[in-house]
């Protein structure tokens, strides 16, 4: 069933579908597969010893059902989190190098900056141009209720400038 859901994703990618069309395709093809998978898990969940790896996997899937279904509601969301894990791999590799951040507050600031820069890269935004522009706008009194417009996935210098 999971393999079939990935086929739906490949079809959407090959067709170059926009998020709304991808969402409709998922509802039509992936939703029945996911429902069948959860039905199967529910039917088999009690057949394994509770401490077995399979029983733990069943419990995890059932406890995370809402999160696992979320990709059906939003065509922008990927089927899995492989991209996010790949993006964070650098953090895992560099963890020993970064353990001396100075203090907890410094470590938190470094993590925020790394996350912002990586999010820029994943959205095709040049990080330094983004940071320069956004920090200037915030310093100049950008309205707090409009901060979401400045997130890397929503930002472009032209779009933000015309909205100001």
- The answer to the question of residue 77 being in a domain is no
Query: From its phi and psi, is residue 49 left (phi > 0), alpha (psi between -120 and 50) or beta?
Result: beta
Residues 68 and 94 in one domain: no
Evaluate if residue 29 carries a pLDDT over 80: yes
* Cβ partners under 8 Å of residue 4, min gap 6: 29, 30, 33
Q: Express each pLDDT in 48-72 by its tens digit.
A: 888 899 999 999 999 999 999 999 9
Q: In this predicted structure, what is the pLDDT of residue 110?
A: 81
What's the rounded Cα separation, in Å, for the pair 67 and 78? 12
Evaluate if residue 161 carries a pLDDT over 60: no
Q: Express each pLDDT in 92-124 by its tens digit.
A: 666 666 666 677 777 778 878 888 888 898 888
Q: What percent of the chain has pLDDT over 90?
A: 55
Residues 159 and 86 in one domain: yes
Which residue from 111, 106, 112, 81 is spatially nearest to 95, judged by alpha carbons? Answer: 111
Evaluate if residue 35 carries a pLDDT over 80: yes
Residues 34 and 88 in one domain: no
Evaluate if residue 127 carries a pLDDT over 60: yes
Contact 48, 30 (CB under 8 A): no
Collapsed DSSP state (helix, strand, coil) of residue 145: helix
Task: Look up the pTM and report it.
Answer: 0.58
Q: What percent of the chain has pLDDT over 70?
A: 88
Last residue of a domain, one of 14, 39, 72: 72
Q: In this predicted structure, what is the pLDDT of residue 164?
A: 54
Cα-based distances in Å from 161 to 2, 95, 132, 158:
43, 38, 14, 5
Residues 98 and 62 in one domain: no
- The answer to the question of residue 16 being in a domain is yes
Contact 61, 38 (CB under 8 A): yes
Residues 61 and 100 in one domain: no
Last residue of a domain, one of 46, 72, 98: 72
- The answer to the question of residue 55 being in a domain is yes
Residues 65 and 110 in one domain: no
Q: For residues 28-50, give the mean pLDDT.
A: 93
Which residues span the domain enclosing 149? 82-163
Average pLDDT, the chain: 86
Q: What total of structural domains would you count in the chain?
A: 2
Collapsed DSSP state (helix, strand, coil) of residue 17: coil
């Amino acid at each position: 069933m999971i393999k079939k859901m990935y086929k739906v994703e490949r079809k959407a990618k090959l067709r170059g579908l926009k998020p709304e069309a991808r969402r409709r395709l998922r509802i039509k093809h992936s939703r029945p597969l996911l429902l069948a998978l959860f039905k199967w898990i529910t039917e088999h969940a009690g057949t394994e010893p509770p401490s077995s790896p399979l029983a733990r996997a069943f419990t995890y899937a059932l406890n995370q059902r809402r999160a696992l279904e979320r990709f059906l509601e939003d065509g922008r969301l990927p089927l899995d989190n492989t991209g996010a894990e790949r993006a964070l791999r650098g953090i895992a590799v560099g963890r020993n190098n970064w353990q001396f951040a100075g203090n907890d507050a410094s470590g938190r600031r470094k993590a925020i900056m790394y996350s912002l820069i990586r999010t820029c890269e994943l959205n095709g935004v040049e990080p330094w141009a983004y940071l320069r522009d956004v920090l200037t706008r915030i310093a100049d009194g950008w309205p707090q209720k409009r901060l979401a417009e400045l997130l890397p996935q929503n930002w472009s210098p032209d779009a933000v400038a015309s909205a100001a």
